[in-house]
Structure 1
Amino acid sequence: MMLAVSYPLLLLVIGALLLLGSWAPMMLRRLPLSLPMLCLLAGFGLSFTNLVRLPAGPLGDGGVAEKINEMIVVLALMEAGLRLDRRFSLRRWASVWRLLLIAMPLTIGTLLLLGHYALGFGWPASLLLAASLAPTDPVLAADVQTGPPGAGEDGETRFALTAEAGLNDGFAFPFIVLALLLERGVADIGHWLAADLFGELAVGLLVGTIVGRAVGYLLFELPAIKLSNTGEGLAAIGATLLCYAVTLMLQGNGFVAVFVSAIAIRSTCPDDAFHVTMAEFSAQVERVLVMLILLVLGWGLGSGLLQAITPMGVCVALVLIAVIRPASALIGFAGSREGRYARMLIGFFGIRGIGTLFYLQYAFNRQPFAEKQAIWAICSLAIAASVFVHGILSKPAMARADARRLQNQEG
Structure 2
Amino acid sequence: MNELNIALVAVGGLVLLIGLVSDLFRRTWWTSEPLTALVCGILLGPTVFGLLHPDRWGVAQETLIEQAARLTLAIGLMGVALRLPKNYAFRKARSLLVLLLPVMLLMWLCSGVLVYLILNLPFWEAMLAGAAITPTDPIAASSIVTGVVARENLPGRLRYILSAESGWNDGLGYPFVLLAILMLQRSPTEAISHWFTRILLWEVGAAILFGALLGYLAGRLLEWAENKHTIESKSFLGYTIALSITVLGAAKLIGTDGILAVFVAGLIFSDVVRGDEKAEEENVQEAINRFFTLPIFILLGLVLPWQQWWALGWKGLILVLSVLLLRRLPAILLLHRLIKPLKNTPDVLFMGWFGPIGVAALYYAGLSLHKTGVEAVWTVTSLVICASLIAHGLTSTSLTKLYGRYNQNQQVNRESG
* Shared fold per TM-score greater than 0.5: yes
Q: What does residue 310 of structure 2 align with?
A: 307
Query: Which shifted more, 178-187 or 340-349?
Result: 178-187
TM-score by length of 1: 0.87
Match of 2:88 in 1: 88
Question: Taking structure 2 as the reference length, what is the TM-score of the superposition?
Answer: 0.85
SS in 1 for 2:197: helix
1:17 aligns with 2:18: no
Higher helix proportion (structure 1 or 2):
2
CA distance in 2 between partners of 1:58 and 1:403 (Å): 51
| In 2: Cα distance, 1:368 partner to 1:210 partner | 35
| 1:211 CA displacement | 1.3
Which aligned pairs between 1:315-330 and structure 2 lie closer than 5 A?
315-330=318-333
Shift of 1:230: 4.1
State the distance in 2 between where 1:160 and 1:60 align: 37
- Identity across matched positions, percent: 24
* CA-CA distance at 1:33 after TM superposition: 2.0
- The more displaced of 188-197 and 306-315 is 306-315
What do residues 33-62 of structure 1 show as CA deviations (whole Å, max 9, x unaligned)?
A: 222222222233332223233439999724
1:185-196 to structure 2, matched below 5 A, reads 185=186, 187-196=190-199
Q: Look up the match of 1:26.
A: 23
1:253 pairs with 2:251: no
1:265 corresponds to 2:263: no
Q: Deviations over 1:297-333 (max 9, x none)?
A: 2244485352332422322222111222111111121
Q: CA deviation at 1:184?
A: 1.8
Q: How does 1:3-402 map to 2 (within 5 A)?
A: 5-31=2-28, 32-46=30-44, 47-55=47-55, 61-88=61-88, 90-145=90-145, 154-185=155-186, 187-222=190-225, 223-225=227-229, 227=231, 229-277=233-281, 283-301=286-304, 303-304=306-307, 306-334=309-337, 338-369=343-374, 372=375, 374-402=376-404
Larger mean Cα displacement after TM superposition, 131-140 or 16-25: 16-25
> What SS is found at the alignment partner of 1:320?
helix
SS at match of 2:27: coil
Q: Please identify, of 328-337 and 33-42, the stretch whose mean Cα deviation from structure 2 is larger.
A: 328-337
CA deviations over 1:153-200 (Å, ceiling 9, x no partner): 943221111001000011111222222222222542023113202332
Letter matched to residue 293 of structure 1: I
Cα distance change of structure 1 residues 228 and 394 upon mapping to structure 2, 3 Å threshold: farther
Q: Is the 8 A contact 1:43 1:296 kept in 2?
A: yes
Q: Distance in 2 between matches of 1:292 and 1:64?
A: 13
Question: Structure 2 vs 1, CA of residues 226 and 387 (structure 1 numbering), >3 Å: closer, same or farther?
Answer: farther
Give structure 2 stretches of 5+ with no counterpart: none
1:51 to 1:328, Cα distance in 2 relative to 1, 3 A: same
- Tell me the SS of whatever aligns to 1:307: helix
Task: Provide structure 1 residue ranges, at least 5 long, that are not aligned to the other structure.
Answer: none
Secondary structure at 1:52's aligned position in 2?
Answer: coil
By how many angstroms is 1:142 displaced?
Answer: 2.2
AA in 2 matched with 1:322 = L
